[in-house]
Chain A
Amino acid sequence: VPCISSGLPKPTNITFLSINMKNILQWNPPEGLHGAEITYTVQYFIYGQKKWLNKSECRNISRTYCDLSVETSDYEHQYYAKVKAIWGMNCSKWAETGRFYPFLETQIGPPEVALTTDEKSISIVLTAPEKWKKNPEESSISMQQIYSNLKYNVSIYNTKSNRMWSQCVTNHTLVLSWLEPDTVYCVLVESLVPGPPRLARPSEKQCVSTLKDQTSELKVK
């Protein structure tokens, strides 16, 4: 039964949260209706096409997010989405997003970071993040395949000297040389793509220790 578009306030702050092409529409409940049993209905639109489309799994839902990854998976297209609040027989007007361009707006997740140490060096191997996929069985697509100009900003922190430095690399292996033996170094890596400003999503900080200096060990003996 269609609801009556009344003075019910609209949902607020409707935006796409997009990471590696997983595109979640999210919003805040309408203001001033705490405690009311509000439900929501979502529609989406492909820029340049003709009509708004329903997302059946997001009809009369009580949560304040909706996964539109499948519907917005052609990342060369641009999209709009909208949501309205429903309370009993009454519903709000639609609250609409701006134009969403996944190719330019998705946040690029951090790479996988593997560290191996030596006395005076640390080898870093980076694996590009994977694009979101509908089913785990689907073959994986690396974000590198989508963004050929994907780079990494590697930050290194010497916990003994408190010194920190960064390097921007394009390939997937990096050897940090001339380090101090028997010292803990922490590494943090962020994926970068030239183009519009994007929110960064750095990797977890990983700390490893360089090995003890074998030559000084022998002298001691």
Chain B
Amino acid sequence: GQEFQFGPCRVEGIVLQELWEAFWDMKDVVQAQDNITNVRLLRKEVLQNVSEAESCYLIHSLLKFYLNTIFKNYREKAVKFRILRSFSTLANNFVVIMSKLQPSQENEMFPISENARRRFLLFQREFKQLDREVALTKAFGEMDILLTWMETFYQ
């Protein structure tokens, strides 16, 4: 079957098509709640031209943030908008991916991990500049951008 290869980090057992279908089921509902259309959190500068070596660090930071900040605080909305099944599918798959990612902590990888960190901070800073609820809704609605980037590492 297919697997993710984020540079040295390999993740098996994920069917990306299921994540797509889960997101697509709720895309219109979720994105319609985002009225701050002049802000994009996952801007091109965050995800464009990410090297293989950086990718494991970046996906680890992004998924950790999505799980610990966004999914954690969006659950009530998911119930309200009746998208809990899609919400759970995405959350559970992100947990599995996270559990299998082991970005190397060796010193010589520091410049690479620092690059990845800089990209993540671009995203996080933009997130923090928004009202909390607005930011959660926007980040949740931008998972199509995140999945599109993740797909490039799925072989």
- Asked if A196 and B39 sit within 8 Å, CB to CB, the answer is no
Interface on chain B toward A: helix, strand, loop, or mixed SS? helix
A173 to B: closest C-beta gap in Å: 22
Docked CA distance A103–B34 (Å): 20
Interface flag for B65 (CB, 8 Å):
no
Interface flag for B148 (CB, 8 Å):
yes
Query: Residues on B close to A: CB < 8 A?
Result: 16-17, 20-21, 23-24, 27-28, 31-32, 34, 37-40, 43-44, 141, 144-145, 147-148, 151
**Residue contacts A-B, CB under 8 angstroms, 14 given:** A47-B37, A48-B37, A51-B38, A80-B37, A98-B32, A99-B141, A104-B144, A104-B148, A194-B17, A194-B151, A195-B16, A195-B147, A196-B23, A196-B24
Interface flag for A157 (CB, 8 Å):
no
Given contacts A103-B148, A196-B144, contact A50 B44 (CB under 8 A): no
B144 to A: closest C-beta gap in Å: 6
Interface flag for A76 (CB, 8 Å):
yes
Number of A-B contacts (CB under 8 A): 48
Q: Which residues of B contact A35 (CB under 8 A)?
A: none
- Asked if A48 and B151 sit within 8 Å, CB to CB, the answer is no
Q: Which residue of A lies closest to B17 (CB)?
A: A194
- Asked if B20 and A195 sit within 8 Å, CB to CB, the answer is yes
- Asked if B28 and A197 sit within 8 Å, CB to CB, the answer is no
